[in-house]
Structure 1
Amino acid sequence: MQEKKIPVSSVELGERELQKSPVYLKMNKAEKIFYIEESLKIGKIEGQKYLNQNKDIYQLLSENQIIYEKKDSKQPNDDFILRGEIHFRKKGCKITVYDESIQSIYVHHQQVLPKHLVLSNSQALEIHLAHEFFHFLEFSSGATVSEKLGKMRIPLFFNFYREVDVTACSEIAAHAFAKQFCQLEVLPNYYDLHYLNQKELAK
């Protein structure tokens, strides 16, 4: 089986994330570009804002009363990777990070990726925490990225339309936030795509 080329540009990686959305095939080119580029912009601006504070992700979590825990029960499978998740509460939030999933993805990359793209274990953890911290920022602001960018109109029949949120925008923006805050070369979903590609080749 031929190896699939994994893009490195943020726009292309953003589109890979958008392709997971059930509304992707109903979008025209202009809509795809709008949602991708605006999501990337929002995430990058927020990432730079917090980077300028000269605080690491652990300080930001502490200041915002966010606790995090490691668990090792979630292994990646053939087409889905659960690396971490955030639990929103009225009093404080909790981020759960699945250590085995992170380890299996990033340790694998040390032998197959160019040196400038290889991550340490600590960097991998910080990326996931930064990603989930962005979702906390969305929650705290009262509006997700998709809500800020507006609904997409999907034609049904005659002159009727259905309006839907493009929820993938939140993930694209979170990737962009993590890239900027952690000063990465690529959006973090590059590593997931590369891992899944290598698993497919190994079959």
Structure 2
Amino acid sequence: MTINPRASLAIKGAVYLLPLLGAGYAGYHSGQSLADQRHQVVLATLKAQHAGELKQRAEDNARTLAAASAEQKRLADLAHQVGWQLLQTRGELARSQAQLKERIADATRNDGAAFTGLGPDSLRLYRAALGYAESNSGVPSADAGDAAKTDAPRATREGLPPADLLNHAADYGRWCQELEIRLDSYIQLHQGAAHG
């Protein structure tokens, strides 16, 4: 059998070309595999980076939540403490008012009938009921000569009796002192919250 020179050339070319094609295929496959491996490495790196970011955000959120919870507890404790102090102070004011009211009869009796209004003892008690010091400064002595004229019959029928004035002072004084204590408590609560 005779082989056509063209066919022989084609066979020889195929013999030379076949290894080249094999090497090309192997190179393509190797390159594709290498590119795929690089892609997998990049993808794994991105996944790890994303997981790290999510973990960091979760830790940041947990710290923020813990700090907010601690601040809420601190403020609740401060409000409880201020509220407790307010209740104790209100109790002390109630006891003080009761003691002042018990002293009304003694003060008006000590001032005597010579005074048609508040005498010195009553005035001291009046000042104490309003929350002022019970000092003698500015309070006249219990001298009947300092009183208004007692011989005027209408003076004793007009105006409020000393006991009523003193009762009013005790009630009004307690109310004013409670307002002051509440205001002080709110200021303390606000300052505690601001300095937290």
Shorter chain as denominator, the TM-score bin is: under 0.3
TM value normalised by structure 2: 0.23
Structure (1 or 2) with the greater helix fraction: 2
**Does 1 or 2 have the higher relative contact order (CA < 8 Å, sep 6+)?**
1
User: Comparing both structures, which one devotes a greater share of its residues to strand?
Assistant: 1
TM-score (norm 1): 0.22
